[in-house]
Amino acid sequence: MRKPLSLTEKIQKRIRARGEGALFVSRDFLDLGTRAAVDQALSRLAREGVIRRIGRGVYDVPRVSERLGIALSPSPDAVASAVAKSTASRFQVSGAQAANALGLSTQVPARVVYLTDGTPRQIKLGNQVLEFRHAAPRSMMTAGRASGTVIQALRHLGKKQISPEVIRHLRTVLGKREKTMLRKDRAYAPGWMQPFVDEIVAEEKG
């Protein structure tokens, strides 16, 4: 009779099916065993080099660059999504990363800040640090939506840096659906920002 697979072997089999670059969290395997047993099995696989530990409860199968021959880091947003899944929380990209995501900045920040309704934490990701800052409920009302990214990008730029060029750029890159969402979420933007939001979502004339 064939010997039943151990918990570690079951987890490893599922991981292999997802392939290189896959991100996963302890919660993904709780149908196979208890949290303590799953964490122990994942720690064992990480020690053996089968998987890589990104942060507490978050792992990936390193994707190796064929040209450079080194393991590549997953994207900050993918890691943030995994952290949110792991902790049953929400996140919202903030600061320079929000501006970068919208094409308002070419700067790649060394510290990527996310707002969260979960526990504050930091994760080292290659040359970057991902910082999760606990935010007030109002700041999380637009979490995971394009409107939230716009609000955070404008907050990062500040009132004096929001030029007509910035408004035109956002009117161009945001689609009809995103503008509709931003119009609905206008109330969650600070008072000083709301006139700029009105300009971004204004209907085109002619």
- Beta strands 63-64 and 71-72, pairing class: antiparallel
> Is residue 135 assigned to a domain?
yes
Phi, psi dihedral angles at 123 (to 5 degrees): -130, 130
Within 87-127, strands assigned E span 91-93, 111-116, 121-125
Low-confidence ranges of the chain (pLDDT < 50): 206
Specify whether 38 is located in the same domain as 138.
Answer: no
Confirm whether 129 is domain-assigned. Answer: yes
Q: What is the pLDDT of residue 206?
A: 45
Domain stop point among 26, 45, 72: 72
Residue 206 lies in a domain: no
Same domain, 85 and 28: no
Report if residue 99 sits inside a domain.
yes
125 belongs to a structural domain? yes
Last residue of a domain, one of 16, 50, 72: 72
